[in-house]
Chains A and B, each alone.
Chain A
Amino acid sequence: MRFFDYFKERIIFILLNIIIFIVSSVILGALRVDTYAIIFIFILNLPASLIFYIYDYFNKREYYLNMIQSLKLLDKKYLISEIIKEPSFIEGRILYNVIKEVNKSMNDEISKVKRNADEYKEYIELWVHEVKTPIASCKLLIENNESEITKSIDEEIDKVENYIEQALFYARSNNLEKDYIIKEIYLRKCINSAIKRNANVLIEKQIKIELSNVDKIVLSDSKWIEFILHQIISNSIKYMDKRESAIKLYCEDKGENIVLHISDNGIGIDEKSIKRVFDKGYTGENGRLYSKSTGIGLYLCKKLCEKLGLWITLSSKKGEGTIVSITFPINRMMKF
């Protein structure tokens, strides 16, 4: 708020003031009032209105500057109404009340949306758990009636199971609340169970598994890590084209971090697609050419990693293979 702008806005009042003064001095002159008296009144009047304007200007300037400053510093701008003080002048107070009111109604709206999202997530969780029961029955029925047909049904059921799990973690990834528990977990245990979940396909396709240096303890949620690894491994399986195919999992100690690499020698990803592999719904050329791809798997991995405070990256060379790396920070508190 510049002084000039402030006065420009008030120019009419100032002009009016001057006109009134000229008119009144002419009338006073006609009434034969002493010229010195007129000048005296003028001198008395001028500083009074000047002082008023200057005081008003600085008062408002301080208030609004303060407000703009706080707004700049705020991470979440909508919280401004909680921070500003009630001003002493009337227009300010009106604006202040309006902002408060607007904010309140916005908060109501947000909490309504949040509640809906929570309810939806709860429903998805419930649904997933419900649907797992019939799947468990199917699996047992298959196990008890082994044949070529049931084996093939089993493969399909596995796919269904995978999609269901994706839905569950999708719902979890969008939720604002934490529903994971961070504790010390054995990376090898998570890796083992992720591999075992894919055992049938991996053995069928004769994909070699090599583990090295994976006996690490990291801080994370084992269920989430298992899901992430499962997604990455099933991607590797999907895009295998070589006869001597292999998936290698190994850890690298990098100062304050442990980096887990999952590397395959599959078809790889071309350079222009690499940047977008973690985008939602992005399937790329490979997705179109090879097998059905939803573009959800890696997107979810990224999102879950972000929630867990991990860092996931992907590097690849077309025709040679892909490496996905997950960085686990080591908390210094872990070392006693």
Chain B
Amino acid sequence: MNKKIFIVEDEEKIRDELSNLLNRYGYETQYSLNFENIVDDILKENPHIILLDINLPQYDGYYICREIRKKSKVPIIVVTSRNNEVDELMSMNLGADDFVTKPYNTQILLARISSIMRRAYDNDEVEIFEYRDIKYNLSTSEIEFNEHKIELTKNESRILYTLIKNKGKIVSRNDLINALWQDDEFVDDNTLTVNINRLRRKAEEIGAEGYLQTKRGQGYILI
């Protein structure tokens, strides 16, 4: 079952594009065009996570946040263009789980969403991605191939995750480096090469040969 995200946002374009983006990353999205009974609408949908704007018609986000907290413990990420400590503190005090400022880096937003999802719902299911015969477990950062398992380091895990997310597409070296940077690992070009080689060797150790291929001058691809 896909995780459901409720987007509370009055700006039509942002709502639609955000919705598209999240759909692409495998989330189900839900939103409401009517802000009058927004709190009830949200609770009725029973989403896994709420993305909440602060500047809204009728009620502001803080009010909505407080009202939801009275009735539910669903994770709330406040997404706003107001970028100062006061707003952040206020959001946190009203029970929001995270605070992201507009214009957000989408990679950061996705990372926050998935980390909150993991924290809140980890008990029910583990995140396992399958690519052909490879099984990749995000929570334990292990890959499995024909009953053989091997553990990956944080960097290797992140590289594999990015490649799986872009299955069948070439991912440039820079995009991979960028993905690692989003995890606060500020690696350079050489380190990436080392990590890629190690990942490939580990995959070969468990028999998954020829999956990770180099496209000269373009990047890497999972075949």
Chain A residues in the interface with B (C-beta under 8 A): 128-130, 132-133, 135-141, 143-144, 157, 161, 168, 179-181, 183, 192, 195-197, 199-200, 203-204, 206, 208-209, 211, 221-223
Contact = CB atoms under 8 A, between A and B. Distances in A.
Contact of B186 (A144, A157, A195): A195
Contacts of B81: 128-130, 132-133, 136
Contact of B85 (A129, A144, A181, A199): A181
B76 to A, nearest CB: 19
B102 A132 contact: yes
Given A136-B14, A136-B102, A196-B108, A203 B85 contact: no
17 contacts: A129-B55, A132-B81, A133-B102, A135-B103, A136-B102, A137-B11, A139-B106, A140-B18, A140-B106, A141-B13, A143-B17, A143-B21, A144-B17, A144-B24, A180-B85, A181-B89, A195-B181
Given A192-B184, A206-B188, A140 B17 contact: yes
Contacts of B103: 132, 135-136, 138-139, 157, 161
Main secondary structure of the interface of B (DSSP, over half): helix
B86 interface: yes
A206 B84 CA distance: 32
Nearest to B13: A137
Nearest to A164: B103
Contacts, number: 85
Among A140, A180, A196: residue with most chain B CB under 10 A = A140
Contacts of B11: 133, 136-137
Nearest to A246: B188
Size category of the binding interface on chain B = 20 to 34
Among A136, A141, A183, A197: residue with most chain B CB under 10 A = A136
B163 interface: no
A196 B181 contact: yes
Contacts of B102: 132-133, 135-136
Nearest to A188: B184
A179 B84 contact: yes
Interface string B74-114: 00000001111110010000000000001111101000000
A183 B84 CA distance: 13
A143 B106 contact: yes
Contacts of A206: 188-189
Contacts of B84: 179-180, 223
A129 B84 CA distance: 11
A246 to B, nearest CB: 9
B177 interface: yes
B182 interface: yes
A208 B21 contact: no
Nearest to B14: A137
B17 A209 contact: no
A193 B84 CA distance: 15
Contacts of B108: 196
A236 to B, nearest CB: 14
A193 to B, nearest CB: 9
Contacts of A204: 174
A199 B13 CA distance: 26
B181 A140 contact: no
